[in-house]
Amino acid sequence: MKRLLMGSLFMLSGMGSVYAQATHRLVDPLLHQSLQSSPVVVDELRHFMLQKVPSLASPSSAKQWNTEAERIRAHELSVLYHGWPKQWIEAPPKFEKVGTIDRPGYRIVKLRYEIVPGFYSTALLYEPEHISGRLPAILNVNGHGPGGKAVEHKQKRCINQARHGIISLNLEWLGFGELQSPENGHNAIELLDLAGSNGVGLFYLAMRRGIDYLYESPEVDRSRIGVTGLSGGGWQTMLLSSLDTRVGAALPVAGFSSLTTAIEHPEYAGDAEQNGVDMRQVGDYAQLTALRAPRPTLLIYNDMDECCFRAGIVKQGVYSDIKPFFKLLDKPDNLQWYENQDPGTHNYQIDSREKSYQFFNSFFHLKASDKEEPDTDSEVRDYADLVVGLPKDNLTIIGLAKSFAASIHHEVPSQPDNQWIQSQRTHLREVTRYAPVTVVHAWPVSTTHEKGLESHGYRFEFSNGLSATGVLFRSITAPENGPTEVLISDSGMASTADEVGNDVDRGQRVLVLDPLFFGENIPGTKERPYVSNLAQMLNTIGERPLGLEAAQVAAIVHWLSERLDHGSATPNSGGAVASVAVFPVRIATSGPRSETVAMVASALNPELFSAFEARKSIPSLIDVFNHPQNYRGAPELTCLDLYHDFDFDMLKAIAVTSKGQFVSHFSCAYLLALNTSLQAVRTGSGSSARDHGLHARIRKLAA
């Protein structure tokens, strides 16, 4: 039946145009018009996200805060460990000694360690030359910069810590140094999300292994363990030291901001790992900093930071707002703030390093010097000297994600019953965080009427404060109640001129739609798009771009049923229809992003759609794992748990109408609508024999 229907529509499309030709010359300029600007999209997203920032109310007592702190800590760890095997999380540290470099007053021990089975990293352990009793220890973590663990300022820090009587562990970081690889790019953790394991969990396990090692070392005083790092290392410092109470003193340098500040400055949002899915929904970095109370914490930021997290911008959210928590726990002086002015750029140079020596000496109760050793510069070694070595078959982030994906198998019943369909539909809503919206206002931006083609450009404002844009096309000879198509393209509406022309020529009313993150609704500029930053921030506060976009598509279909093609109705007038019957529409997509959005929209709202055509489609989400380079900037395709729990075959199985008809290409409902349209084509004395025969064939197929 499905094959027969498809063949019939192809035959219809080949019979020639029955309406005025919607030529490329007419349509193309209308699809390139500006319906709203990128700053508007950014502003809407900012206001939307500001409403989601978790509250930071000061508790009434220390006991109340301690209880709340444990709740936040447990929640955050459950988020980070989502989807990760319990045996991996609880595995003891597995470090292997590879070699030793003896230096004046200290030695460097080369270590290789397991993050998860098959995925190894490297580390350097800087030890004092003479060890007596248990010593304090500091975990030094990397930031985003060339050289990895061998970066100059980090070597200098570790050398001086060891010479001051501190055991210093210097970890390599994913994507840098010996782990530098295109397959270890930080945004690749989105593939782990797609396979069902929160990608930031891998980063947390990698850094936590360092604390595990130090805590189990017989040479380390467990009550005197600290963490420090610059930039991404500052982020690691705060995340690890707030969630792992084995860490005492912590000193992050220019590594994070509050969610409010990140919303105000999307360039401060950080990388994918700093916005792990759901990570900032309950506990933002403001809450995490408060979790540090009453443990010693020094925050260093830079006055003129050219990268991110400039001191004067971030201070309120990460320091001023947090002071009451340390005061409540009778340790107001344990939260300290220092602004680096020399050089004042994004750095962990000697001014900040000597401030760190002073801080750790104080809280570790050491009598060591706060100054850097005079020969420190000459002790810095070349990158090659500090290479530890990794297995040739060492996993990568992408390799690990592929291994997870390969173990996933989806089973679709041959005859899905209603209970299975409803269960899957409910779960899909949860995975995509789908929340229905309505079109609260369709702003008419433009209208044209030329050579038999009518167009209306709209900016659609939704009930959640976000928006989309679209252009509605119709031949003036086509009936207003003719079949309707919604067309979405990965490349934006400007790329759809040929499709629009062909579909309008077939008598369809066509709405070309750019939902959020499509076409001109991509926030930022071509030179600096904010899709990645803002999509990650939506994910981290508990939203999903996929769910937001699917809800927009469904709302647009409802709006189309109101038939307000010629402007907005006056409130309480007869033209403002409060509730109308929804006439199902045909939806067509071009590319895997729009395909996924439309697939979810139709699976959750099958009654809204009469047919689905996916052009330039992919057969399965497994293609995202096999060709990850093709899906950069595609947040819909990396939704947490999406491939773990669903694939396109499952979505198609639940995209059925109440009558049990599969929503697929050229369904009966669509052909019936087209039949109605064709009947209204001719006026006057009657229709040709060819048209009568065509109508009969359509009615026979529909039956």
DSSP codes joined into one string, 37-57: -HHHHHHHHHHHHHTTPPP-P
* Residues pairing with 229 in the sheet: 141, 252
Residue 500 has pLDDT above 50, yes or no: yes
The confidence score (pLDDT) of residue 683 equals 39
Residue 701 has pLDDT above 50, yes or no: no
Token duo for residue 390: 């990794």
Task: Collect all residues with Cβ–Cβ distance below 8 Å to 296 and sequence separation of at least 6.
Answer: 248, 249, 250, 334, 336, 359, 362, 363
Q: Give the distance from CA 670 to its chain's centroid.
A: 35
The CATH number given to 78-404 is 3.40.50.1820
CB atoms within 10 A of CB 92: 9
Domain ranges of the chain: 2-49+416-702, 78-404
pLDDT band for 566, please (50, 70, 90 cuts).
low
Cβ proximity of 466 and 48 under 8 Å: yes
Place of tokens 């840098």: 176
Residue count (the chain): 703
In terms of Cβ atoms closer than 10 Å to its own Cβ (0-12, 13-18, 19+), residue 416 is middle
Kindly state the percentage of the chain with pLDDT values over 70.
87
The confidence score (pLDDT) of residue 567 equals 66
Residue 689 has pLDDT above 90, yes or no: no
User: Which range has the top average pLDDT, 502-506, 578-582, 604-608?
Assistant: 604-608
pLDDT band for 23, please (50, 70, 90 cuts).
low
Longest dimension (CA), the chain: 108
What distances in angstroms separate CA 444 from CA 461, 540, 626, one per listed residue?
11, 34, 43
Pairing of β 220-230 and β 167-171: unpaired
Kindly state the percentage of the chain with pLDDT values over 90.
79
Note the pTM of the prediction, 2 decimals: 0.90
Token duo for residue 90: 């609880």
Identical fold between 2-49+416-702 and 78-404: yes
Rounded Cα–Cα distance for residues 152 and 156 (Å): 6
Task: Collect all residues with Cβ–Cβ distance below 8 Å to 617 and sequence separation of at least 6.
Answer: 589, 591, 592, 595
CB atoms within 10 A of CB 377: 10
pLDDT digits (tens, 9 = 90+) for 502-540: 889 888 899 999 999 999 999 876 666 667 889 999 999
The confidence score (pLDDT) of residue 398 equals 98
Residue 182 has pLDDT above 80, yes or no: yes
Sign of CA dihedral 376, 382, 383, 384: negative
Residue 311 has pLDDT above 90, yes or no: yes
What distances in angstroms separate CA 355 from CA 315, 349, 555, one per listed residue?
18, 10, 56
pLDDT digits (tens, 9 = 90+) for 355-394: 999 999 999 999 999 999 999 999 999 999 999 999 999 9
Cβ proximity of 639 and 432 under 8 Å: yes
Q: With respect to CATH, is domain 2-49+416-702 assigned 3.40.50?
A: yes
3-class SS at 171?
strand
Cβ proximity of 638 and 531 under 8 Å: no
pLDDT digits (tens, 9 = 90+) for 191-216: 999 999 999 999 999 999 999 999 99
In terms of Cβ atoms closer than 10 Å to its own Cβ (0-12, 13-18, 19+), residue 657 is middle
Place of tokens 């003891």: 92
CB atoms within 10 A of CB 414: 5
Mean pLDDT computed over every residue of the chain: 89
Token duo for residue 173: 């970081």
What distances in angstroms separate CA 511 from CA 27, 229, 545, 617, one per listed residue?
12, 51, 21, 20
